[in-house]
Amino acid sequence: QKKNPFSNDNRLASKPLHTHRGDPTYGRPLEGSRTEQRGKDAHSHVEKEVEELCSIIKSTGQVGKDGHVSVTFGQLFETYVTISNKVVGILLRARKHGLVHFEGEMLWQGKDDGVIITLL
């Protein structure tokens, strides 16, 4: 479909006709599009939040015998929630990138306040 049937605008649809699973551009916005730029901006913003979270862990945590800085989730939550309400999501992203370690899939306020978060 070259034209969006739900719009009176004559612009071409955002996806090229040749997309298939083997195509390297499959599932990606068109290069140079505003959608691509919004994605890059969002990625940059999340990276900054991860960096800030790591610096807060470093400043509020304590150095353990292994040389790594650790903090409890409860202490981190109380400190970081005044900065951002996305503390759990940012923690998950930081763990995905190998910057922090903690046990469990998800952390819940109250229930997991004693879970140790280690800065790697």
The string of pLDDT tens digits covering residues 69-83 is 999 999 999 888 777
Write the CB contacts of 107 (distance below 8 Å, at least 6 apart in sequence): 73, 88, 91, 115
Inside any domain, residue 4: no
Q: Please count the structural domains in the chain.
A: 1
Domain interval for residue 81: 50-119
Q: Are 10 and 3 in contact (CB under 8 A)?
A: yes
Inside any domain, residue 40: no
Inside any domain, residue 36: no
Inside any domain, residue 109: yes
Which H or E run includes 69?
A: strand 69-72
Cα atoms in the 13 Å half-sphere on the side-chain side of 52: 15
Q: What is the pLDDT of residues 25-77, one digit of tens each?
A: 788 888 888 999 999 999 999 999 999 999 999 999 999 899 999 999 999 99
pTM for this predicted structure: 0.70
Res 10 pLDDT > 80: no
Inside any domain, residue 23: no
Alpha helices by DSSP H, the chain = 34-60, 73-80, 87-96
Inside any domain, residue 18: no
